[in-house]
């Protein structure tokens, strides 16, 4: 961050900060300001996507935005200028209309009759008196005079250009920016919700092609999955497990839980079973640095839980499961997965796992072959439970059955070891009393 003063102009260069954990670059996923906007100190100006979470960036000073380091969706290296501010006169009151770009201002002219009809326009007829509104980019929006929904359309030239190409009347697009300014994310949300086009012939044929930039959390997920599959030789092992007894125990404990105890799912029991199993397979509770050719085996059991969020797949971590009972594991799992889904997880809550569990929940599935959460060596997949007939002691009985999947880094875990690990885990699940002995 550098301050430069010359000829009465004071500029402040704010560089992309180091967001921790060896991060050398980050994607600017969203801007909440534009060039020319005046901002207050600590005002939220951008969101930056790291490998772990979305980080809110606030203004370090008050002033006017002179330049942005890159468009939203692009990646900046740590230490590169993110925003340049003009801090001269930042203590003065903001002039009226300072937040509006010249391109956003809407010129008005005397009322004139509206066109009798407009092919592909809005479904309701327009009043005869309208106020034509134009912008320098040449896009005209006509709004009924006296209409309660009447408002000036504030939008950048690039957004107006997109609206012209899409045939969208910007007066119909709700704006969430300062003064009701329509931002690109507002426009995209309007289109995603099936916004009505003001031009074009209706047709039952589906001919539209929707291009979507892979950015933000989706870009991070894509890169991590590609790296894991490209660099890790996966070995998967799937076994059938009888979960009748552990489901009965779970139902009993839930029926007698206190108000301050969370509702138990299968995952806390599976985690508690892993705590018993992993000391015999320390290379399955480990992280492998292939560049240094260094395997780190952990005594502590830090379990990551693959969690689907609106932003994409995240892996919040429950730490030191070996020190917790099933109630404590359930409570912490509920907490970290909740903050992850709300987009409020801290980087520390999304890192440091030594083994990962993934479950599709009610969707289930007969079997999965999950991708390892690098640099870990093992991931456990939970599949669908179902009541079905099985043969026990020459008798056909109805049991609750589930397939348990395991994927292993075959550089570290041999096939025999992976199979033994899943078999031992199976024995604890089928005899849940042994978990607590």
Residues classed as catalytic: 410, 414
Q: Measuring CA to CA, how many Å separate 213 from each of 72, 74, 217, 308, 311?
A: 11, 11, 12, 20, 14
Helices (H), 194-256: 216-231, 244-255
3-class secondary structure, 320 = coil
Please give the Cα distance from 323 to 339 (Å, whole number).
22
Side by side, the strands of the sheet bearing 317-318 are 234-242, 395-409, 378-392, 355-359, 303-305, 317-318
Please give the Cα distance from 64 to 152 (Å, whole number).
23
* Nearest residue to 80 via CA among 155, 18, 4: 18
Integer-rounded Cα radius of gyration of the chain: 29
Measured in degrees and rounded to the nearest 5, phi and psi for residue 221 equal -60, -45
Q: Strand 54-58 vs strand 44-49: parallel, antiparallel, or unpaired?
A: antiparallel
Please give the Cα distance from 181 to 154 (Å, whole number).
5
270 DSSP assignment = H
- In DSSP terms, 39 is beta-bridged to 63
């Amino acid at each position: 961050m550098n301050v430069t003063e010359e000829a009465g102009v004071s500029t402040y260069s704010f560089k992309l900060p180091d967001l921790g954990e060896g991060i050398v670059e980050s994607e600017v996923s969203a801007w909440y300001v534009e060039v020319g906007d005046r901002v207050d100190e600590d005002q939220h100006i951008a969101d930056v996507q790291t490998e772990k979470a979305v980080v809110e960036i606030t203004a370090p000073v008050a002033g006017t935005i002179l330049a942005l380091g890159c468009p939203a969706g692009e990646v900046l290296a740590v230490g590169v200028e993110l925003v340049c501010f003009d801090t001269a006169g930042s203590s003065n009151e903001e002039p009226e209309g300072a937040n509006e770009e010249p391109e956003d201002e809407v010129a008005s002219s005397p009322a004139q009759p509206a066109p009798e009809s407009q092919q592909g326009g809005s479904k309701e007829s327009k009043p005869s008196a309208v106020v034509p509104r134009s912008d320098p980019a040449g896009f005209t929006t006509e709004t009924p005079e006296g209409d309660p929904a009447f408002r000036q359309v504030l939008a950048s030239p690039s957004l107006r250009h997109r609206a012209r190409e899409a045939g969208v009347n910007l007066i119909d697009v709700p704006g969430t920016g300062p003064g009701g300014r329509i931002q690109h994310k507002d426009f995209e949300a309007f289109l995603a919700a099936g916004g009505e086009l003001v031009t074009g012939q209706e047709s039952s044929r589906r001919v539209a092609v929707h291009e979507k930039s892979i950015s933000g959390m989706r870009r991070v997920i894509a890169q991590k999955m590609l790296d894991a599959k490209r660099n890790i030789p996966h070995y998967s092992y799937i076994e059938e497990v009888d979960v009748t007894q552990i489901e009965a125990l779970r139902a009993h404990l839930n029926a007698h839980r206190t108000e301050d105890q969370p509702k138990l799912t299968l995952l806390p029991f599976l985690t508690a079973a892993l705590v018993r199993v992993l000391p015999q397979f320390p290379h399955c509770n480990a992280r492998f640095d292939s560049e240094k050719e260094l395997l780190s085996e952990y005594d502590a059991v830090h379990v990551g839980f693959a969690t689907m969020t609106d932003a994409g797949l995240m892996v919040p971590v429950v730490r030191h499961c070996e020190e917790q009972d099933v109630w404590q594991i359930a409570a912490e799992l509920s907490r970290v997965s909740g903050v992850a889904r709300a987009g409020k997880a801290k980087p520390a809550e999304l890192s440091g796992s030594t083994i990962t569990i993934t479950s599709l929940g009610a969707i289930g599935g007969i079997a999965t072959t999950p991708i390892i959460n690098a640099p870990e060596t093992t991931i456990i997949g939970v599949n669908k439970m179902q009541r079905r007939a099985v043969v026990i002691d020459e008798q056909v009985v109805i049991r609750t059955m589930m397939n348990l999947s395991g994927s292993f880094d075959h550089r570290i875990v041999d096939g025999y070891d992976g199979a033994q690990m899943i078999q031992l885990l199976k024995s604890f699940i089928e005899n849940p009393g042994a978990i607590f002995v």
